Structure 1
Amino acid sequence: MRALLTLFLLISTTAIFAQDEEPELQPLKAVVVNAQTEKAMESVHVVNLTQVIGTITDQNGEFTVSAAVDDIIYFSFLGFKSQKIRVTNDMFKFENTQIALTELAYALEEVIVKPYQLTGYLEIDVKNYPINNSYQYSISGLSVSYEGGNKNPSAVTKVLGAILNPADLLRNLFGKQPNQMRKLRKMKEDDQIRDLLASKFDRETLTELLQIEKVDIEDILNNCNYSKSFITTANDLQILDAVSSCYEEFKVLNRKK
């Protein structure tokens, strides 16, 4: 009986250690093709969402990325529907695995052009020309500047308030997904991921990488006092840098409490 108990404990301990071990990464090779034409697609962005590693396909549509079984791989290319796949054992055994992307059909929306009639007099034309209402404020002693939003006397006060007293919502958002937020630094260090984010404005890749909703990203930046104009017009890389900066400041403030 004692021998059986010892054997059971040994097996249980081994199983626990096996669960704690990191999955072994292997080179995953495959090719991306156009689902309609079956032609190889060059320069498709390939991102391992689990490991936060990025690459692009070559002229033959081929790519190699480090991955483990059950990792999620994300494919993105302008004009095509983004796709996610889960890595299986068979994908390591057979290097000719094909990933097909489907082309999107875009409907052009009506564009209204608003002409600005210039008089030739600078003082008058300056008043009539549209102005971007996003403002950045630099605070002495801090290495980054802050976007204050609307131009009004309270803008700087709002910035200082955000630095000294983080909102409860901001704390909850960062606290909900601590593991995902740790990916921020890895994302910023990967050149391929940065290149992909710099070309995108839809927040789709960011939400996939961070595993948070688009509304959460907006709430984070709102509570860090970034203007609505910045939140809606910045590319995904600028948004990533803004969220990362906000998160780092939040951690510093939390340590002081």
Structure 2
Amino acid sequence: MKYLLLVLITLSSLIGFSQDTEESQRLSAIVINAQTQEVLESVHVVNLNQVFGTITNEKGEFSITAAVNDTLYFSFLGFKSQKIRVTNDMFKFKDTKISLTELAYALEEVIVRPYQLTGYLEIDVKNLPINNAYQYSISGLGVSYEGGSKNPSAVTKVLGAILNPADLLRNLFGKKPAQMRKLRQMREDDEIRNLLASKFDRETLTEFLQLEKVDIQDILNNCNYSKSFITTANDLQILDAISSCFEEYKVLNRKK
């Protein structure tokens, strides 16, 4: 009986080890245009869970390491980005096709309203539109904080930053500790870096880090990056800036 029990324990251990080693496998599939069924070359494919990526070849094919329930993120210029959850069937069938939908661009109607100027400053100023994007600055701090009608918490953020500047970063970084740890992996993967270097929409960053775009802006604002940098930098530059800020944040926290 003891011998039989030992055999069963050994077999269960081997089965468990086999499952662990086979958990991550090479997944192969083809990316096509949903409208034309034509294959798409140079589509960026990234594994959001394991933090690495690849691109499709001239036949639309790609191969990437993944496990069941991992999320793959597909990005291609002119097409709607898409997330796909990996299933067992995707490993079993080698002809899996991923369809991407083309974006429909429509020009919105633009109404130009001329302003009749009189030449008298006092009168003309009253007729011009008012800019609702406010900027708060505190003398002596050397830092400005942006607010506006769409950001009702602007004043609260300013006061919070004055009382304890680290609180805002602690709230933002503390929300997603696992995602923040992905920063270094993202910076070390060449395919992900190449993808981010060509993007300016922050979509891939928000998917990886599980942050809202406004959170990314808040992080950079509170790390003293200029408004010009925040609005014009590509996603790779934004990644490097967030990573640098996070490293400084960790150092400050260790000193406490």
**Structures share fold, TM-score greater than 0.5:** yes
Q: Kindly indicate whether the alpha-carbon contact (under 8 Å) linking 2:143 and 2:224 is maintained by their aligned counterparts in 1.
A: no
Deviation at 1:176, TM superposition (A): 1.2
Opposite residue 225 of structure 1, the aligned amino acid is N
The one of 142, 146, 167 equivalent to 1:155 is: 142
1:187-217 Cα offsets, whole Å, 9 max, x none, are 0001111111111111100000111111111
Aligned identity (percent) is 75
Say if 1:179 and 1:23 are closer, same or farther in 2 by CA, change over 3 A.
farther
Correspondence for 1:173: 172
The yes-or-no answer on 1:88 pairing with 2:87 is: yes
Deviation at 1:109, TM superposition (A): 5.8
Between the aligned partners of 2:45 and 2:250, the Cα distance in structure 1 is 31
1:10-57 Cα offsets, whole Å, 9 max, x none, are 9xxx9xx99xx6882100000000011101100000000011110000
Correspondence for 1:37: 36
Map 1:1-257 onto structure 2 (within 5 A). 24-108=23-107, 155=142, 166-257=165-256
Structure 2 unaligned runs (5+)?
Answer: 1-8, 111-136, 146-160
Say if 1:76 and 1:157 are closer, same or farther in 2 by CA, change over 3 A.
closer
Q: Kindly indicate whether the alpha-carbon contact (under 8 Å) linking 1:55 and 1:64 is maintained by their aligned counterparts in 2.
A: yes
Q: Kindly indicate whether the alpha-carbon contact (under 8 Å) linking 1:166 and 1:250 is maintained by their aligned counterparts in 2.
A: no
Between the aligned partners of 2:89 and 2:35, the Cα distance in structure 1 is 25
Deviation at 1:225, TM superposition (A): 1.1
SS at match of 2:253: helix
Structure 1 unaligned runs (5+)?
Answer: 1-9, 112-149
Deviation at 1:107, TM superposition (A): 2.2
Q: Kindly indicate whether the alpha-carbon contact (under 8 Å) linking 1:32 and 1:41 is maintained by their aligned counterparts in 2.
A: yes
TM-score, normalised via structure 2 length:
0.72
Say if 1:26 and 1:240 are closer, same or farther in 2 by CA, change over 3 A.
same
1:200-243 Cα offsets, whole Å, 9 max, x none, are 11110000011111111111111101112211111111110000
CA RMSD, aligned part only?
Answer: 3.1
SS at match of 1:246: helix
Opposite residue 80 of structure 1, the aligned amino acid is F
Deviation at 1:106, TM superposition (A): 1.2
TM-score, normalised via structure 1 length:
0.71
Opposite residue 36 of structure 1, the aligned amino acid is Q
Tell me the matched-pair count.
206
Opposite residue 66 of structure 2, the aligned amino acid is A
Say if 1:223 and 1:157 are closer, same or farther in 2 by CA, change over 3 A.
closer
1:168-203 Cα offsets, whole Å, 9 max, x none, are 010111111110000000000011111111111111
Say if 1:245 and 1:110 are closer, same or farther in 2 by CA, change over 3 A.
farther
SS at match of 1:243: helix
Correspondence for 1:122: none
Between the aligned partners of 1:176 and 1:104, the Cα distance in structure 2 is 32
Between the aligned partners of 1:177 and 1:194, the Cα distance in structure 2 is 21
Opposite residue 25 of structure 1, the aligned amino acid is S
Opposite residue 240 of structure 1, the aligned amino acid is L
Q: Kindly indicate whether the alpha-carbon contact (under 8 Å) linking 2:41 and 2:60 is maintained by their aligned counterparts in 1.
A: yes
Say if 1:157 and 1:231 are closer, same or farther in 2 by CA, change over 3 A.
closer
Between the aligned partners of 2:226 and 2:22, the Cα distance in structure 1 is 42
1:107-164 Cα offsets, whole Å, 9 max, x none, are 24689xxxxxxxxxxxxxxxxxxxxxxxxxxxxxxxxxxxxxx9x9853899xxx9xx
Deviation at 1:167, TM superposition (A): 2.2
